């Protein structure tokens, strides 16, 4: 597409696929997209609580047919962020002396 | 740094306990303030009302108090496990990584891998995060594990005791 629109050599040399820099850019883009997908997946799972009973079809999206939501648990779901803070704080308190800086 | 600390106070058990207490109290106070003040007004402000199937429990309800108090205890236990794991692993990055993997890993597996309900329950009941967070359950069958709320927190407490024991022993016997 680029070449047809005038981005030709010598000013815009055609990249070779085997060139390390080109290869790095292509693979890097793929890895970047994969990581974004993974991040979305992780965030999605953090904010979604699994019910223990998953064998209730027809319950999805229909509040009338479902047991009431556990509002208290949702209210306290900030604990997922809280635990990360607690982990980082406690690990740092213990490990920082072994690996200062 | 740790050599300086141990030169000042050669009793390693005391140093280890002091660190655990410092982390515990900090997390306990912060969690208590956060749990009580943040969640409740936020939810109703975003339209999660009783009409839509999100009934709010009265502040006097026993299960609400158990959930809030349990969440505070949960965070305290997480901090204690982190202290034990960090004393065993020593490297901060590796310690944080191990903790996050052990807490969120089993949960991600239950979400991503299709499995039978009994396998799901086994993983949930053995996972520190999912078993521990069942202390927040106020609607039967909606919890993060099939355990009774306090039993779930007891599983996490057992992990904490094990991690502190391991970390404490390694802190005592290894060279600084």
pLDDT 10s digits, A69-80: 777 787 788 788
Q: pTM for this structure?
A: 0.72
List, as ranges, residues 61-80 from A with C-beta within 8 Å of B.
63, 66-79
CB hemisphere CA count around B109 (13 angstroms): 18
The mean pLDDT value of chain B amounts to 85
Contacts of A92 in chain B (CB under 8 A): 92
pLDDT for A54:
41
Nearest to B171 by CA among B1, B27, B6: B6
- Rounded Cα–Cα distance for residues B169 and B172 (Å): 5
* Residues contacting residue A56 through CB under 8 Å, at least 6 positions apart: A66
- Rounded Cα–Cα distance for residues A96 and B82 (Å): 13
Nearest Cβ partner for A92 among B92, B107, B140: B92
Q: Where do the H-state alpha helices sit in chain B?
A: 2-8, 12-37, 39-45, 62-89, 92-112, 117-126, 128-133, 149-173
The mean pLDDT value of chain A amounts to 73
Residue B11 has pLDDT above 70, yes or no: yes
Nearest to B134 by CA among A54, A49, A60, A86: A49
Angle at B22 between CA B21 and CA B27, to 5 degrees: 95
Look at A96 and B48; give whichever has higher pLDDT: A96
Distance from CA of A59 to the nearest CA of B (A): 13
Report the chain A residue with the minimal C-alpha distance to residue B167: A94
Contacts of A96 in chain B (CB under 8 A): 1, 92
pLDDT for A55:
41
Q: pLDDT digit string (tens) for B68-113?
A: 889 889 999 999 999 999 999 988 889 999 999 999 999 988 888 8
């Amino acid at each position: 597409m680029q070449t047809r629109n005038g981005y030709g050599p010598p000013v815009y040399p055609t990249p070779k696929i085997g060139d390390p820099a080109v290869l790095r850019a292509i693979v890097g883009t793929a890895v970047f997209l994969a990581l974004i997908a993974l991040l979305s997946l992780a965030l999605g799972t953090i904010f979604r609580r699994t019910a223990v009973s998953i064998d209730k079809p027809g319950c999805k999206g229909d509040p009338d047919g479902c047991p009431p939501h556990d509002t208290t648990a949702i209210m306290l779901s900030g604990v997922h962020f809280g635990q990360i803070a607690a982990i980082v704080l406690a690990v740092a308190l213990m490990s920082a002396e072994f690996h200062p800086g | 740094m740790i050599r300086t600390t141990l030169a000042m106070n050669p009793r390693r058990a005391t140093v280890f306990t002091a660190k655990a207490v410092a982390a515990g109290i900090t997390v306990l106070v912060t969690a208590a303030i956060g749990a009580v003040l943040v969640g409740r007004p936020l939810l109703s402000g975003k339209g999660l009302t009783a009409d839509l199937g999100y009934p709010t429990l009265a502040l006097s309800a026993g299960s609400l108090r158990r959930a809030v108090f349990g969440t505070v205890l949960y965070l305290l236990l997480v901090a204690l496990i982190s202290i034990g794991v960090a004393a065993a692993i020593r490297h901060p990055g590796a310690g944080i990584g191990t903790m996050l993997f052990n807490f969120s890993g089993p949960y991600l597996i239950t979400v991503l891998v299709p499995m039978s309900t009994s396998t799901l329950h086994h993983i949930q009941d053995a996972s520190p995060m999912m078993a521990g967070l069942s202390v927040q359950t106020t609607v039967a069958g909606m919890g993060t594990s099939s355990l009774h709320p306090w039993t779930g927190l007891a599983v996490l407490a057992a992990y904490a005791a094990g991690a502190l024991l391991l970390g404490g022993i390694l802190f005592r016997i290894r060279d600084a």
